[in-house]
Amino acid sequence: MMIEERLLLLALRGRDSDVITQLLIKQGYVCHSCADATELADQLDRGAGTAILTEESLVGADRQWLDDWLNQQPAWSDFPFILLATKRSGRRPAEAVKVLERLGNVVVLERPIHGETLASAVKSSLRVRRRQYEARYRLIELQKAEDRLMRLNASLEARIAERTRELSQANNQLMQEISERERAQSALAQSQKMEAVGQLTGGIAHDFNNLLTVISGNLELIKRRSAEERTIRLADFASQAATRASKLTSQLLAFSRTQQLSLAPVNINALVEAMNDLLERTIGPQIEKRLSLEPQEPWVNADVNQLELAILNLALNARDAMPGGGTLTIATSIREIALEGRPSATYGVVSVTDTGTGIPDDLLPKVFDPFFTTKPVGRGTGLGLSQVFGISQQSGGTTQVMSEEGRGTTVSIFLPVSAAQLQTDGLKEMLVPATSSSDDEIVVIDDDDGVRTFIVESLQSLGYSVRAASNGAAGLALIKNKIPDLLLVDFAMAGMTGLDVIREVRCIEPTLPTILATGYAEMDSIEQAASSIRILRKPFQIDQLAGTIQELLNYESRVA
């Protein structure tokens, strides 16, 4: 700071120079004498508080460097000069006036001057210069503050951009999580709905199917034993209603996936061909039916009855989608494909294609929902496609739908191919009339009086000898007293279940042919490894009962 408050002296000669220098030094100032205006400009550039000049040292001298320095002063600077002028009368010469104008901030003292006057002028000039230094300091601080503010603004923009990016990422993640949560909640709601319906159907299926067994069975006995045409016709109407009720229960169990399927190797070409007449009657004459069957005859693991029902449901849906007529194509194929995240595998495929109205894109995701239907009220239950989907899933496959609005729909059932092939497709075997020997005896165990009575009546009409019991303990007593040729036992009974009875019977006669009749059961616990056990679902027809018995007794005779 000392150099910025020093005093510069220019062209002070003789005694005046020494006197002024000593005076100023005594007062604590630092002085520096300059030889000319050029040196003065150089020293001003280094720093000074004020400069004491003589008038004659500037008039006529080379002032270019001094003029340049004065022109280049920063905004805060207006350097103070003290000019010692020669006392004269009249106006100052033009050159002297020009010098004063160029110096700008100048105090003119005429010589001779008093020491105190000079000291006061120096003090005043330095005070002015210090205020300029303060202004410089404040300007510097303001500039620093401005620079800091600019840096802060720049970093703030960067931080805002970064924070905005983070918020955007967080928002995207949140939206994804919300979407995933909505999908999970939707899946959970669907699962809970399916579970609730499954529990409901499971709860009512056993008793309901027992009732249907009694109703449909006795209607069939009436038709067999009546010769009156009107009675037979009325019994047919009632039988059709019972069949629809049985189908509805089966659909509920299928889409809720609580019904156990009897999976076995099935030739789907043979199955489709065997359904030909049924499909012709179902779809009517307005619709052209075409078959496109795989030459290699696909064999799949499936439940014959349930697969037939699934194809029939798809044909009915296709018929309803073509009210003005059209073409129904049933195709079979073998495809190797990866389904729903599973490893690639080979599937037998049954596809039902129509040329009907098609399904809008916004409705496609809903077609497998239970009770969802686009048909008018009273025209559909909304269980058809749900049942098809449930059957395919339980069989280890899936169902896919492709549709184009106004052009038609294709529904494909994918089923795992079977490594084994049966010698017979089993489609006609159930319909073969039963023949029996008077030596064949059957023990019937069922806790429902109506069902038990119907079964006993049916078996007796088929020529079998029958012994019956209303519970497991009583049935075991009959078997221990005399081993029958076949056992027919209900699954759900108070006390001992049908499985409990079968386990006890296995200890008495391990190879006894056994039919387990059930309206509904958690079938996972049933061991079906033994060929001498068959599952007969209620309600069943007399021909089904006869065919199952004949199959078991014929098998045992072949083994023997």
The crossing angle, in degrees rounded to 10, of helices 472-481 and 498-508 is 20
pLDDT for 246 beyond 80: no
Average pLDDT over residues 141-151: 89
Residue 378 has pLDDT above 50, yes or no: no
Q: For 543-558, how does the pLDDT look when each residue is reduced to its tens digit (9 = 90+)? A: 888 888 988 887 555 4
Q: Where are the domains of the chain?
A: 3-113, 263-416, 432-559
User: Does residue 88 sit in helix, strand or coil?
Assistant: coil
- Per the CB < 8 A criterion, the answer to whether 493 and 447 are in contact is yes
The three-class DSSP label of residue 359 is coil
Digit-coded pLDDT (tens) for 314-369: 888 888 888 888 999 999 999 888 877 778 888 999 999 999 888 888 777 777 77
What pLDDT digit, counting tens, does each position of 455-480 carry? 999 899 888 999 999 999 999 999 99
- Mean pLDDT (the chain, rounded): 81
- The mean pLDDT of 261-266, rounded to a whole number, is 78
Q: CA-CA distance, 481 to 509, in Å (whole number)? A: 12
Residue with tokens 């060929």: 531
User: Which pLDDT score, from 0 to 100, does residue 488 have?
Assistant: 94
Other C-beta atoms closer than 10 Å to the C-beta of 523 total 16
Please report the pLDDT score of residue 382 as a whole number. Answer: 52
pTM of the model: 0.45
Q: What residues are paired with 398 via a beta bridge?
A: 414
Model pLDDT for residues 481-538, shown as the tens digit of each residue? 999 999 999 988 888 888 899 999 999 999 899 999 887 655 555 544 344 578 888 8
Q: Taking the domain 3-113, which CATH number applies?
A: 3.40.50.2300
Quick check: do 3-113 and 432-559 share a fold?
yes
Task: Give the pLDDT confidence of 154-210 residue by residue, as tens digits.
Answer: 888 888 888 888 999 999 999 888 988 887 787 677 667 666 766 666 666 667 777
User: Which of 384, 419, 387 shows the shortest CA–CA distance to 374?
Assistant: 384
* Token duo for residue 144: 């620093």
CATH class of the domain at 263-416: alpha beta
What secondary structure, in 3-state letters, does 506-548 show? HHHCCCCCEEEEECCCCHHHCCCCCCCEEEEECCCCHHHHHHH
With bands split at pLDDT 50, 70 and 90, how would you rate the model's confidence at 81?
A: very high
Start-end of H helices in 226-303: 229-255, 268-274, 276-283
- As a CATH number, domain 432-559 is 3.40.50.2300
